[in-house]
Amino acid sequence: IAGPILHHKEMMPHFEEPQTYRLNAENVVVGLTIFFIGLFKKTVIADGVAANAAPLFVHPGTPDLFAAWGGALAYTFQLYFDFSGYSDMAIGLSRVFGVKLPLNFDSPYKAVNIIDFWRRWHMTLSRFLRDYLYVSLGGNRKGRSRRYVNLFVTMLLGGLWHGAGWTFVLWGGLHGVYLIVNHAWRALRERLGGQDVDRTTRTGRALARLTTFVAVVVGWVFFRATSLEDALAILRGMAGQNGMSLPASLATYLGPARAVLERLGLAFHLGGGAHFVFQYLWLAALLPLAMLAPNTQEILGRFQPALSFRASDAPARLAWRPTARWAAMAAVVAACGLLSLTRVSEFLYYQF
């Protein structure tokens, strides 16, 4: 399993402590719980939603609005639960043996801006890029313009880290532009005396989170697409340039609204009704799970599951405890994860 990117200085102290070499019941229980949550995220959620993402990127064609957004969102959640799932497995297995790995994900789709996103997504890679590329290029020590150049170059190289293809370069460059705009906007707000998004209203935070999420989804289209042409075709569909279409089997459930929707440009096509329904049911379930629910480390927060872990603000009722109720829930999660291993699947992020 390819887990978080590790620093020598944060790992070696573990091996200098005598208790690391003694089996500890708490470490075993906490570690196995984290491992099986990760396994569930990978084999049940990520592999389950994968079938709703693959068709769009394998044969994009000219997707309409619903097909383009459905496939792009499915991949967005597939990638997150796949990668965070096996990061959890690595963290959990290490914890069984008394070793704490650094946190690698912190609910990235809850981010309120792109800066926040990169503090939550693949956190050890973000740290690596910052320490060995951004700082080496000069960081923010040589003025604002040079800082923006350094950000852009760092993210371009971060794109190449994932693969030697133009789609990865564009993905990295796009996030470089995102970061530049984010830093410039933050500087402007400070100059004008505006509030930071962390201190704004709940509505403002929700809009910031939604804007960030949409920007990230657009980036994932380049990341997943096999060519620039395919990525642009999908983005055109997401922008509504290929129209809107629903399966004809759903038309009977719309009643009088069908005529109104048709006047607005909605078309109906034969077939695909079951796929459409299941795809959007998956998305309806995963959207609140990724954007509202506490993550693995927050649930296990009382036991400091990883290095650099921040205090959890998760509700107390969702905090894991060594009780019979939580043991039963963990057993169900473990069983579902293990039984789902019968399906052929791959770790999406392993190749990167």
Q: Compute the half-sphere exposure of residue 146: CA atoms within 13 Å on the CB side of its CA.
A: 10
SS (H, E, C) 222-277: HHHCCCHHHHHHHHHHHCCCCCEEEEHHHHHHCCCHHHHHHHCCEEEECCCHHHHH
What does the DSSP 8-state code read for residue 4?
Answer: -
Q: How far is CA 220 from the centre of its chain?
A: 10
For the four alpha carbons of 110, 112, 116 and 117, in that order, the dihedral sign comes to: positive
Q: CA 222, CA 173: separation in Å to the nearest integer? A: 11
Could you identify the residue written with the tokens 């296990």? 300
Cβ-Cβ contacts under 8 Å for 6 (sequence gap 6 or more): 101, 102, 124
- Identify residue 90 by its one-letter amino acid code: A
Cβ-Cβ contacts under 8 Å for 276 (sequence gap 6 or more): 66, 70, 246, 247, 250
Catalytic residue among 8, 59, 122, 162: 162
Neighbours of 341 (CB within 10 A): 12
Q: Radius of gyration of the chain from Cα atoms? A: 22
* 14 is a catalytic site residue: no
Active site residues: 162
